[in-house]
Structure 1
Amino acid sequence: MNEFYISALYIVPTPIGNLSDITYRALETLKNVDIIAAENIKHTTILLKHFNIKNHLILLNKDNENKQSAHLVQELKKGKKIALVSNAGTPIINDPGSILIKKCHFFNIKVIPLPGPCAAITALSASGIINNRFCYEGFLPSKKKSRCDLLYSLKEETRTIIFYESKYRIIESIQDIIEQIDENRHIVIAREITKKWESIHGAKATLILQWLKEDEYRYKGEIVIIIDGFKKLKTKSLSTKTLQTFSMLRKFLSLKTSVLMTSKIHKINKNNLYQYAIKKKSDKII
């Protein structure tokens, strides 16, 4: 049986920028369902017109999700076929629709997800950061205290961390990452993925901040922040002599200078020593 004629809720990903990224299956689904539940009707209408698709659209957003979900469930019970789409990318990921899906499962209504674009995964694949393990944290909190509390809680997260961020807060958020996580942590800023002005740039946090401040166009549009995971300290590589040298220098010199000099004297990896120093500092030992 052709699945397009099955009564079900279809979760349909749409392009995050380049309209050519839509799949044949997504187009066929949007053509054959009875109703398209869209986060933004005007935005989705542009997509449908581009592919010459005419269908019935209804609004489902964060403001009307409860009421509209109840209505859509009734339509599904009648045997209707409904597609759920967001403004861009895979629905539900930071978008409305979860209430509708929960109701569908409660009433044993079939839910059929289609694979497709997702800004977080697309950016991660091109980041150059080891990403076999990662955690997606959605949008960073808009309020500074909440944002700093979250970032601090992720300070020793060993998995790659992915955030979405607004152009209006990106500078503040990078500053908070420097203060709450690590000024030397490697960060990748992926902007306008799949669009004309796409850019992917990676460097340690302080250099990323400097790079962004040099040109405001570097943080225009939709942004994904990817943060390298915390690397656990390999204490075996730090000998007693190394630690003694570092402690002695630290009494008279800055942290940065002490790390550089100790690493040169003992010919060790400065990042390993720097992580040791940061950890000890947080433990109030040095």
Structure 2
Amino acid sequence: MLVFDKKDALSHHLESLRQPKTSVGFVPTMGALHQGHLSLLAQSVVENDITVISIFVNPTQFNNPEDLEKYPRTLESDIQKVRTISEKILIYAPSVADIYEGKTESKSYSFEGLEHQMEGKFRPGHFDGVGTVVKKLFEIVNPTRAYFGEKDFQQLQIVKKLVAKEQLPVIIVGCPVYREANGLAMSSRNERLSPQERQEAALIYATLQKTANQFAQQSIAKTRQMVAETFANHPLFQLEYFEIAEENTLKPAVKKQKNRKYRAFIAVFANNVRLIDTISLN
């Protein structure tokens, strides 16, 4: 299994493998890999001639320095997990210097308002950091397809917008949320939960399922109230936001309209661990 820590070495190796119709699949991650990441890799391996995974904790998308410091870094374990999918997957695990070349800062992007909703409201500059690093990674790997999980649905929509605005020659593939046995969306942050917290965090998805089941009958205002009361009555959790939004614009919905696709989004703190999830309401 080949592991690269320099972009030039990775680019040169990829160029040596490319033929006119060679397809390259790419899975960008921040490491601390779990089964959700591996499912993206498995799909890429099936759909492409070459698969690349990046493992890079991107500093420019963290608005909270403490969160950046605590983010798990488990490269050796990650390599072993990648190996269970295929020995032929190429791993790119760069330093900050290799990616940013001494200028660790974000480009300022406009994503036509997508960046101002939900995560953008509570994590200033986050999507500038995401857009910056994703564009850099795409330029290094030059993938045919790139795979992103729908748990970070807002990020998925923003990456699609980035590709359209920058006219990048890559197909963005959104993949379903991968969940633990109790329904909790798989996330690298789950490793920071205690076993009891991890079990109780099943409430997040259970609440989203209740929202989806009641969406046709309940008003949006009543649904928001139900969710707020659910978490206000649980001592472990602090609800940061719950939103029902139209899928394409991500703008908060006030009244349901026909022929629109809606999605519920939630961010919850379990002690100091921030967890997000989403569910389609159609």
Give the TM-score, by structure 2 length: 0.34
Give the TM-score, by structure 1 length: 0.33
